[in-house]
Chains A and B, each alone.
Chain A
Amino acid sequence: MAESHFLDEPGLPSPADPLGPLGPEAAAVAVTVAVPVMRGQTRWRLLLRRPTFGVGAGILLFWVICAIFGHAFAPDNPLAQQLLSANAAPSGSHWFGTDPLGRDVLSRVIVGARDILVITPLATVLGTIGGTALGLAMGYFGGAIDLIAGRLVEAVLAIPAVIIAFLFVVALGPSTTTLIIVIGLIFTPLIARTVRAAVLTERNLDYLSSARLLGENPVRIMFGEILPNVMPAILVEFTVRLGYAVFTVATLSFLGFGVQPPTPDWGADIAANYSGLLAGYWWQTLFPALAIASLVTAVNLITDAIEQVLNA
């Protein structure tokens, strides 16, 4: 057994205290769990056991609940103005204080989760579907398709996502649908690049040659044979892009081209209130900023855990 190896690990019972607080059974269980076979279910269980995944998923779940049921449990109406209690500091009646119009900041932070959590997943799903199809075609067919689509990828890469989104949203006028479509379209070539790279490593493997020799049609080979094998790469790319989508939507809202007031939104609320910082009204800006930071961090923790498990 690998018992001796385990004793070398810090934090486990030292040789001087061989049984430790848990006794020998605990050590035996810990050793037998390390199964080398990586099936879907095993991966899922490994993922659930990672603390970073747990924390990230917990925070994300919290915001999803706020997005769906926020109106029901927010302490106040996020739109209700009470001008007499404007700019009130955090207190028992308003835990996060109030904004210059006397609206409850806590309620606005809770309900403000809604639009960003509607736009970002939908935009990322749209970009992932488009990007996967384009990437599969680029990697599988190569040649002219790859060359031309490759230039499109380069061109989109050349301009920061926030700025292209900015250009299109200004032209079309900001709305939830516009944001979803524009961000999804910008993500399409970027995701295609990753999928293409993953397809290229699969392309010359035996199972594909035999599928081709058997005369299967290209669409079947791409979606039936290659897709399942590049799925892990797509999953990682999806979570990475989800993080970028949060970033992009929050930034657009901050610049005034995302979610429009008076709808509660973290980025827009920060833009509306950050000048109040000089007057000392820090709560109006800090709490929405923490909300964005926590959502971004949660998505990144999940991405990191998925990457760790897939690379293990």
Chain B
Amino acid sequence: MPESAENKKLFFLPAGTGAGNNPPALQHQGQINADVAAHIEELKKVNEELKQARRAALNLIEDALLSKEALRESEERLRITMESAIDYAIITMNTERIIEGWSRGAELIFQYTAREVIGKSADIIFTDNDKAAGAPEKEMEKAKNEGKAEDERWHQRKDGSRFFVNGTMRPIYDGALTGYVKVARDMTPQKLIEQQKEDFIGIASHELKTPVTSIKAYTELLQEMCNEGDYASGAPLIKKMSAQVDRLIELVHSLLDTTMLVEGGLALHLEQFNIGDLIEECVENLRRSANSCHIIIQCKKEASIYADRDRISQVLTNLISNALKYSPNGGQVTVDCCKTAEGIRVGVRDEGIGISKEMQAKVFGRFFRVNDANANTFPGMGLGLYIAYNIIQRHGGKIWIESERGKGSVFYFVLPYNRPTP
């Protein structure tokens, strides 16, 4: 209501009244006017307070609107950040571990869409063993009690496959505890490399120390025999010891070759030679250890190539000795060579345990070893085929496998006729 209109109305007095006349009736009227004036003053104050309150209310509304906008902007920024962090799974859950937020990264890493998991228990990402061991509860308790729970373990994707996750869970407080946020990252490749290294150290120490154990024992036995004056019994021991020394030398060479290959320092000494002769030489050297296998050579005599003879000999020895090793029940090993359009092709065929299709892609990798149907392993460091692959690659050739589990394998390599370009 406008102030001026209100004042006019309140100051209305009967006509003819004046400040100088004071009859009793007029005195009474004067008292009324004084009361009205006092009320008016009071109302003015109230009106002023109301105006102030209104201004304050308007300010509050304005602030609230601004805060809401800021909050919306902040939420949008957070959402964009969460969506961009596709290498990280960001999962929010309530105190009952019911999923409330599931980022794009979580969708990619765990294979569940947000729609599929929101409202469900966060336990679905744990393996059955971890669930049985109470891992989800323990993680939550730790986060609650210590402010955060760091965790490294194998988790489970939607398709059941396992992967190694490094994650941190933190409690969310809004006055009281309202839930948890878990940020996790797929660390499977790093974990596999770490495991491969650990396995390799175990395998290498076993493979190297085994011949050393035999050599040491033979030496001590020979010493005892010599002390007893029994020289005749020592001769077979020396022969056995020599075989173990050869085995050790071969292992050390493999390790050194692998180091050179990794560092790119494997140099080739190229020359012209007949591959047929080299195959015969390698087979002859391996016939002694050919157990019950029968080795057949099918080669064209005129097959001449330009390559590093020692390195190709190493490849052939690796392939043929593998063929013998993985034929525990004997059978036939056939080594053939022929001319093709691409170059000289050599094949080493066995009738051994064979390699499944899934494993074939891995055979030329470092530290790979095939198990038989009963999960039995075979001796070796898993470096032979890796070295063979690299030697053939350096020559500009190619090497591959054709095999079927239980039906034997054929390893082929092709060496170009021409001098390889460095």
Chains A and B bind each other: no
